[in-house]
Amino acid sequence: MNIALIGYRGTGKSTIGKIIAECAGMALKNLDAMIAERAGMSIPGIVGRFGWEKFRDRESEVLASAAAGDNQVLDCGGGIILREQNRVKLKAAGPVVWLTASVPAIVARIQGDTQRPSLTGKSFTEEVEEVMIVREPLYRACATYVIDTEAMGPEESAREIIRLVQYCPE
């Protein structure tokens, strides 16, 4: 069984993923890091050179490879749910946990992030609000569980996820 973590950037996927992997004795697969490593360049470099569509192609390829494994925490990029094929693969790989936080919390957490290019060219707050309107139904449709990372700290969130997936029928 794998545990997939989805959600907008800044919701705690990487931090919580590390904690879950350590506590549960699972391998951690950071899909964005895998994409950058395979491409030999940063995500902003990939997007700047090839565009978002080619980045999403690479993301789908890396997910297909990672989802075929077992006993892993899949730390997914925020837009992985944009393609139906990715949502299907995530759901088939094991429980999918959607990490959430409010727009102000997300903005505060990601303001200094230089590893992800802007999706809309707007301010962080405008971008998060706009993008979340599109993505929220997709996150919701894909999620087995929802964890509000603003209401709980990373360790508590990780413990709750581990508790929940023990009862997952997969």
pLDDT of 119 above 60: no
- Indicate yes or no: pTM above 0.95: no
Q: Which domain, by its residues, includes 11?
A: 3-166
Q: Are 67 and 93 in contact (CB under 8 A)?
A: yes
Structural domains of the chain, count: 1
Q: Is 165 helix (H, G, I), strand (E, B) or coil?
A: helix
How buried is residue 103: exposed, middle or buried, by Cβ count under 10 Å (0-12/13-18/19+)? middle
CATH number for the domain spanning 160: value is 3.40.50.300
Instruction: Report the share of the chain in percent with pLDDT over 70.
Output: 90
What does the pLDDT average to over 75-85?
A: 96
pLDDT of 115 above 80: no
- Mean pLDDT over each residue of the chain, to the nearest integer: 90
CA–CA distance, 63 with 164 (Å, rounded to integer): 23
Q: How confident is the model at residue 121 (pLDDT cuts 50, 70, 90)?
A: low
